[in-house]
Amino acid sequence: MASSLSKGPLFSAVRSNAAVSQFYFPAVPGSCQCRFFSQSSQRNGRQAMNMDSPKVPTPLKPSTATRGSMMSRSELPTDLGLLPGTFIRPLWRDLPSIFTHPKERLQLEWLWLKSGFQSFASIIVYSKITFKGLPLRFRERRQVARELHQRVYSAFAAGDVPTIRKICCTGFANDLTSRITARAKDEAVTWTLDKYNRTPATLFTGTRGVRQVVVRITSRQSTQKMRVVTKASTTGAGPAARKSLTKELEPVAPAKQQDCTEYLVFQKLRWFGQEEDWRIWGHTQPTTVEDLYSNPMFAPGLTLAERMQHAQDMYQGKK
């Protein structure tokens, strides 16, 4: 449900993708040779050279804030991944039974309450203390989730790559684009949202600089594969008749309707006082009982410092 990320990992993620130029001062080649007649002359010559040669100051490395301010908004990394420690509550039917697995069930319920409190507190700090005066946007999240959910699937069915690039993060956009490219030239897809089975449920996530929201969307969707057929038609009669080609869609297979439960991650970045629009990071899965023991962010017996060290190592690619 919730996770928090300090300002450090965001900047470190930017540093890893930004190329920092280094300046090298090559040595002057010894094309001119001098022969000294005595050792004293040689020593005096060396001293004179040392006294006359100016010292080159070491260039100062720009700070992280300076490098970040020099980057354009289009160069900022958007695919930061799911924030460490994000707890995603499963559906009620997927939770372990309180009678057969009471320990695991109580641990999941405790993590749910704990993550919810931490996320709510981080949103308050993010909106009212760190960036004073920002709205909490509790209502906006569900409205944005519905809008982007419909736009991304409609764009994917229509093969609208520019829209996908605009509303999705890099990794998710590349995945959808590659699937569009793999279609046959005469293949088309239609997508229809029949209805929302439930109101989209938001799972709190708030951070400093990065704000993510995991939304569980339960809906009924219909997809159908179509074939693009080119037909010739004639308008008018006699010498004024004109022939034109029109493209029509013919169904290849009957429409498939199914109930879907999706966990979509929506992300908003704030960079030097400017907020980006909401984007879709991609799909994720709810937290399982196995994650309670395999994920160091949830495993019992670890200190807060150890959990934060694990999160930092994961962002730096060490784990």
> What are the residue ranges in the chain where pLDDT is below 70?
1-77, 204-208, 236-241, 304, 311-312, 314-319
pLDDT tens string 86-99: 889 999 999 999 99
Name residue, tokens 């509303």.
167
Cα dist. 241→237, 244, 247, 261 in Å? 5, 10, 20, 53
Q: Distance between CA 191 and CA 149 in Å, rounded?
A: 12
Q: What pLDDT is stored for residue 162 in this prediction? A: 96
Q: Distance between CA 200 and CA 197 in Å, rounded?
A: 9
Q: What pLDDT is stored for residue 19 in this prediction? A: 32
Q: 3-state secondary structure string, the chain?
A: CCCCCCHHHHHHHHHHHCCCCCCCCCCCCCCCCCCCCCHHHHHHHHHHHHHHCCCCCCCCCCCHHHHHHHCCHHHCCCCCCCCCCCCCCCCHHHCCCCCCCHHHHHHHHHHHHHHHHHHHHHHHHHHHHHCCCCCCCHHHHHHHHHHHHHHHHHHHHHCCHHHHHHHECHHHHHHHHHHHHCCCCCEEEEEEEEEECCCCEEECCCCCCEEEEEEEEEEEEEEEEEEEEEEEEEECCHHHCEEEEEEEEEECCCCEEEEEEEEEEEEEEEECCEECCCEEEEECCCCCCCHHHHCCCCCCCCCHHHHHHHHHHHHCCCC
Give the number of other CB atoms < 10 A from CB of residue 97: 9
pLDDT tens string 263-286: 999 998 877 777 888 999 999 999
Q: What pLDDT is stored for residue 82 in this prediction? A: 84
**Which two structure tokens, joined as six digits, stand for 77?**
């990394």
**Which two structure tokens, joined as six digits, stand for 3?**
């996770």
Q: What pLDDT is stored for residue 18 in this prediction? A: 34
pLDDT tens string 66-116: 454 545 555 666 777 888 888 899 999 999 999 999 999 999 999 899 888
Q: Each residue of 188-221: b (16+ CB within 10 Å) or e? A: bbebebeeeeeebebbbbbbbbbbbbbbbbebeb
Domains and CATH numbers, the chain: 79-288 (3.10.450.240)
Q: What pLDDT is stored for residue 56 in this prediction? A: 53
